[in-house]
Amino acid sequence: MERAKRKLEHIEYALATGQSRLHGFDDIVFVHNSLPDVSTTQINLATQIGELSLSSPIFINAMTGGGGEATLKINEQLAYVAKQCGLAMAVGSQMAALNDERERASFAVIRQVNRDGIIFANLGSEATVEQAKRAIDMIEANALQIHLNVVQELVMPEGDRDFSKALRRIEQIVRGVEVPVIVKEVGFGMSKETAAKLANVGVIAVDVGGFGGTNFARIENERRARRLAYFERWGMSTTVSIAEIAQTVPNVSIIGSGGIQNALDVAKAIALGASAVGMAGYVLRLLVEEGIEKLMEEITLLHEDLTLIMTALGAKTIAKLQRVPLVIRGETHHWLHERGID
Ligand code: FNR
């Protein structure tokens, strides 16, 4: 029951702490194109993450499951929204559900609601190959996300303290399962060094989970007596994470995430090099505070706005959007310069 309580607290504190918008997107400016030579009807939002084909570059990122009735209801609604809006969707960590039959319903419902959609399974890097296979089978997943959340665990009083051999286990999972493996962060960002190691063991995509949106150090600090305040500003922003991986690690797809809230954020993440963009906290807030109809309306508008932005830039496809000219200024520019990437 401790774990179920934690899942509900994560939702409650994620909503309470909100999204900081420190993700760095204000540093990214598109070069205006007065002759885009394209019509809105020619814009195609389809994309690829490795071998996975998605009809939209936007997907609902991993959040919840296994916390009883409340999380079952949220997952059922998210799955319905994903189906109606044609979005891929990741489930929250399935670790508890592997050992507890009762926890499984809130995951199974996602596949029941969305029979033919693209769904990602989700486990931590402590998982074995056998656990990964069971998590994939549980929801007939099209891909597996493995989350890396060292700082979150360290701030969590009951969290893990031993992070040895995670890369080795990830490599074994990549070899042992039949679906593509995506490795993700949870709001602390990802460096080019980490991405290169993951690409070298066969991970098809890294989800940067950048700093600047949902802040799990703040969320976990709400749950403990002595705050570890130094972790609340810890991490690499979403823009620097995407940019440094895109410019130095060619053999991996990039998923941009961490604080994505509107179509301009989506377009900028893709223009920096992402193939797809995950949204978690913003989607959760709309669903819980404004309702399912409002969430679906908002996603329709996101697609409409992205189409308009791509038209203005003369980018008919996501592949073309990845190559439009842009200027990087401010802290993102400074970071890339210091890291020798400019
Ligand atoms: C998460 N996130 C998450 N990630 C993961 O891999 N497994 C999980 O179980 C969860 N659980 C979870 C619960 C809640 C309530 C939230 C808000 C988020 C992290 C999520 O997928 C994402 O990486 C971060 O939230 C950063 O993205 P946003 O929220 O800034 O768009």
Q: How many Å apart are CA 121 and CA 2, to the nearest integer?
A: 23
Which amino acid, 135?
Answer: A
Cα R_g (the chain), whole angstroms: 19
Asked if residues 219 and 157 have their Cβ atoms less than 8 Å apart, the reply is no
47 bridge partner residues: 54
Q: Measured from the CA of 278, which atom of ligand 1 is nearest?
A: 31
Residue whose token pair is 């203005």: 312
Measure 281 CA to ligand 1 centroid, in angstroms.
7
Q: How many Å apart are CA 252 and CA 206, to the nearest integer?
A: 7
Shortest-distance Cα residue to atom 16 of ligand 1: 63
User: CA angle, 19 as apex, 4 and 78 as ends, to 5°?
Assistant: 50
Q: Measured from the CA of 261, which atom of ligand 1 is nearest?
A: 31
Site to probe by mutation for ligand 1, drawn from 149, 182, 186 as the one with most ligand atoms within 8 Å of Cβ, is 186
Contacts (Cβ under 8 Å, ≥6 apart) of 151: 188, 216, 217, 231, 234, 235
Residue whose token pair is 């060619």: 250
Measure 147 CA to ligand 1 centroid, in angstroms.
9
pTM: 0.98
Which amino acid, 221?
Answer: N
Shortest-distance Cα residue to atom 22 of ligand 1: 186
Measure 288 CA to ligand 1 centroid, in angstroms.
15
DSSP result, 97-135:
HHH-GGGGHHHHHHHHH-TTS-EEEEEETT--HHHHHHH
Q: How many Å apart are CA 94 and CA 178, to the nearest integer?
A: 18
Q: How many Å apart are CA 220 and CA 161, to the nearest integer?
A: 15
Contacts (Cβ under 8 Å, ≥6 apart) of 34: none
Q: Is the ipTM of this complex over 0.90?
A: yes
pLDDT in tens, the chain (342 residues): 577 888 899 999 999 998 888 999 999 999 999 999 999 999 999 999 999 999 999 999 999 887 788 899 999 999 999 999 999 999 999 999 998 988 899 999 999 999 999 999 999 999 999 999 999 999 999 999 999 999 999 999 999 999 999 999 999 999 999 999 999 999 999 999 999 999 999 999 999 999 999 999 999 999 999 999 999 999 999 999 999 999 999 999 999 999 999 999 999 999 999 999 999 999 999 999 999 999 999 999 999 999 999 999 999 999 999 999 999 999 999 999 999 997
Residues lining ligand 1, Cβ inside 6 A: 10-11, 14, 19, 61-64, 92-93, 122, 145, 147, 184, 186-187, 209, 213-214, 257-260, 279-282, 284
CA distances to 219, 257, 258 from 155, in Å: 9, 21, 19
Shortest-distance Cα residue to atom 12 of ligand 1: 63
